[in-house]
Amino acid sequence: MTKLTALVIKWVLIALALAGVLWVATQLAIAGYTMAVIVAGMLGIGILAVYGTRRNVPLKYLLPGMLLLVAFQLWPIIFTASLSLTNYGDGHLISKEETVTDIIAQSVREVPDSPRYRMSVATKEGASATTGDLVLLLTKPDDTMFVGDTGGLEPLPADGVEKTTTGKITKAPGYTILTAREVNARSKDLSALAVPTGDGGGIKPVGLSEAFEGKPSVTYDASADRLTDSSTTPPTVFEPKNARWVSTADPSVAFPQGWQENVGFANFTRIFTDETLRAGFVKIFIWNVVFAVVSVLSTFLLGMLIALLFNDPRLKGKAIYRSLLILPYALPGFITALVWRGMFNQDYGLINGALGLNVDWLGSPWGAKAAILITNLWLGFPYMFIVCTGALQSIPRDVREAAIIDGANAFRTLRSIIMPLLLVAVGPLLIASFAFNFNNFGLIYLLTKGGPFDGNDTSIGSSDLLITYAYRLAFSGSAPNYGFAAAVSVVIFIIVALMTIPAFRQTKALEEVN
């Protein structure tokens, strides 16, 4: 490759990267994220400064990895910490201003003799028909067209738009119009949708192909920070309380829309003061530690014993043994966990069938714990076997011989010579294994999902780890509470750090001996 071609390739790549950044910046600008546009601009300048000049050679190699690291590892950690101080979650996903516009738009009642719109339900092009935000394509009786969503109403350019004789839009560039069946599937989202119009009114759908414009019954008084609903007699006044609009007359009456709010350390206080949560948290924590310790010890013990078994130069066929013993480790973890779940099935499973037992493995608290430990022993011992074999082979022969000459028997040699050397060698790996198992989400989730659960408490399972508990808080159930889940994650961060950093220090000191 000549210098010239290399130069051409370099500048083509830089140009492509800059074009990509520009495209992202445009999309961000359209969506109205000013700060993000600035960040994208700085990124573009950064790319040009690093790759377009002859300086900053190390950065040329580090920049791609660093960008990804900052964006998808460092930022999520910082973001988790900041989320843990909020109430972000179901019913608290939007800002306070948005709740006001939303509530007012929701309260729209049809004004007699106001115009009706022909309506088509669509999503932005590329968005999913089942989950994407809904957009209304509207035609007024005078044939002017609009596009409306929760953000407001905008005129729809006539270019490329096709409509039926009645005015219903059937095609519009940039939007995918949903079929009647798809709209039906989302009737709940549709009925919750109201398009705010500039003058305090709103447009709401009626049925699947019409919408009306009306006036809201709720008004907002910005100076007093109160909402007043005049559809009731007497009018109800709502005040902001705990990130929701609550009636001043009857505290049990409130609008469903809440806003995201900074709650300080309330999530953390809740973990440690709420009676049920604290009891549950302590229970989960104890099992989490027991699980990690027993997993590491059992896999290490079995792996070491098998390594010792095969640590005999006269033994033939060691390569075959090793290839076969590595298989549990080689299979993808999700497969083995799911297969073991099938084998632990109380009624049909292999284990109860073959051993003539009738243990409710996955349905009873102790059975589930035993099943998890057995499965993890099977999953993890090949790793320890490999590691121990490597360490045993690096123990010099003459050290053992010296022990034998000094009159030590096989057991004594093992205990006083081999074990200490082995532990020095594999110590850091045991700690890493502990840290890994402490957050072994996949195994627990696939095997028991954290269950079984006590009859009346569905939030804390008897085989839950902290990580599966945090996951359930955030992603399952009808009311995800991201803020609280983030707080639990932060607590796990701190626990893991407190437990592993001193251990790593210890082994660092060992390593620095040489």
Partner 1 sequence: MSTVNAPVPADPRLETRVDAAVGRHTETPDRGGLGKRVWWRHLLGILALVWALFPIVFIYSAATNPSGTLNTASLLPSGFSLSNFDKLFSDPARPYWSWYRNSMIISGVGALAAVFIGACAAFAFSRLRFTGRRPGMLALLLLQMFPAMLALVALYVTFAKIGDVLPAFGLNTSIGLILAYLGGAMGSNVWLLKGYFDTVPKELDEAATVDGASHARIFFTITLRLVMPILVTVFMLVFVGLYGEFMLASIFLTDVENQTLGVGLYGMTLGNDANQFFGQFAAGALLASIPVVALYLAFQKQLVGGLTQGSVK
Name residues contacting partner 1, limited to 8-37 (CB under 8 A). 10, 24, 27-28, 31, 33, 36
Minimum CB separation of residue 131 from partner 1 in Å reads 8
Minimum CB separation of residue 345 from partner 1 in Å reads 6
Close Cβ partners of 412 (under 8 Å, ≥ 6 residues apart):
403
| Nearer residue to partner 1 within complex by CB, 237 or 421 | 421
Minimum CB separation of residue 25 from partner 1 in Å reads 11
Options 139, 336, 462, 463; binder of partner 1; rule CB under 8 A: 336
Angle, CA of 153, 156 and 161, to the nearest 5°? 145
| Nearer residue to partner 1 within complex by CB, 28 or 145 | 28
Minimum CB separation of residue 112 from partner 1 in Å reads 38
Minimum CB separation of residue 136 from partner 1 in Å reads 18
Separation CA 8–CA 167 (nearest Å): 54
Footprint on residues 177-196 left by partner 1 (CB under 8 A) = none
Around Cβ 34, how many Cβ atoms within 10 Å? 9
Minimum CB separation of residue 351 from partner 1 in Å reads 10
| Nearer residue to partner 1 within complex by CB, 147 or 343 | 343
Separation CA 392–CA 322 (nearest Å): 15
Any idea how long the chain is?
A: 514
- What pairing do the DSSP bridges indicate for beta strands 116-124 and 210-216? antiparallel
Using the Cα atoms of residue 497, residue 498, residue 499 and residue 503 in order, give the sign of their dihedral. positive
Minimum CB separation of residue 172 from partner 1 in Å reads 17
Separation CA 175–CA 180 (nearest Å): 16
Options 159, 162, 250, 347; binder of partner 1; rule CB under 8 A: 347
Minimum CB separation of residue 317 from partner 1 in Å reads 8
Minimum CB separation of residue 378 from partner 1 in Å reads 7
Options 109, 171, 283, 322; binder of partner 1; rule CB under 8 A: 322
Size of the site for partner 1 (CB under 8 A): 129
Q: For residue 13, which amino acid is it?
A: L
| Nearer residue to partner 1 within complex by CB, 286 or 399 | 399
Separation CA 92–CA 195 (nearest Å): 20
Closest to 470 measured CA to CA, from 70, 89, 12: 89
Q: What letter does residue 52 receive in the DSSP assignment?
A: S
The tokens of 244 are what?
Answer: 């929701």
The tokens of 308 are what?
Answer: 């010792």
| Nearer residue to partner 1 within complex by CB, 253 or 289 | 289
Q: What letter does residue 373 receive in the DSSP assignment?
A: H
| Nearer residue to partner 1 within complex by CB, 212 or 340 | 340
**Is residue 141 near partner 1 by the rule CB under 8 A?**
no
Minimum CB separation of residue 312 from partner 1 in Å reads 6
Q: Which residues of 65-97 are buried (b: 16+ CB within 10 A; e: fewer)?
A: eeeeeeeeeeeeeeebeebbbbbbbebbeeeee
Separation CA 113–CA 94 (nearest Å): 34
| Nearer residue to partner 1 within complex by CB, 131 or 252 | 131
| Nearer residue to partner 1 within complex by CB, 139 or 336 | 336
Minimum CB separation of residue 113 from partner 1 in Å reads 38
Footprint on residues 58-77 left by partner 1 (CB under 8 A) = 58, 60-62, 64-66, 68-69, 71-77
Closest to 148 measured CA to CA, from 129, 135, 133, 134: 135
| Nearer residue to partner 1 within complex by CB, 106 or 413 | 413
Closest to 399 measured CA to CA, from 425, 419, 377, 426: 419
Footprint on residues 394-453 left by partner 1 (CB under 8 A) = 394-401, 404, 410, 413, 420-421, 424-429, 432-433, 435-436, 439, 441-442, 445-446
Separation CA 80–CA 490 (nearest Å): 7
Footprint on residues 354-383 left by partner 1 (CB under 8 A) = 354, 378-383
Backbone torsions φ then ψ of 14, nearest 5 degrees: -60, -45
**Is residue 309 near partner 1 by the rule CB under 8 A?**
yes
Footprint on residues 478-497 left by partner 1 (CB under 8 A) = 482, 485-486, 489, 492-493, 496-497
Footprint on residues 70-129 left by partner 1 (CB under 8 A) = 71-77, 79-80, 83, 88, 124, 126-128
Minimum CB separation of residue 471 from partner 1 in Å reads 7
| Nearer residue to partner 1 within complex by CB, 93 or 208 | 93
| Nearer residue to partner 1 within complex by CB, 246 or 486 | 486
| Nearer residue to partner 1 within complex by CB, 28 or 119 | 28
Angle, CA of 226, 229 and 230, to the nearest 5°? 125
| Nearer residue to partner 1 within complex by CB, 47 or 485 | 485
Options 112, 198, 234, 332; binder of partner 1; rule CB under 8 A: 332
Q: Which stretch binds partner 1 (CB under 8 A): 111-119, 253-261, 362-370, 464-472?
A: 464-472
- Cα-based distances in Å from 455 to 95, 242, 359, 452, 461: 37, 31, 19, 9, 10
Q: Please return the burial class of 173, using the count of CB atoms within 10 Å of its CB with bins 0-12, 13-18 and 19+.
A: exposed
Minimum CB separation of residue 451 from partner 1 in Å reads 13
Residue 195's beta-bridge partner residues?
Answer: 203
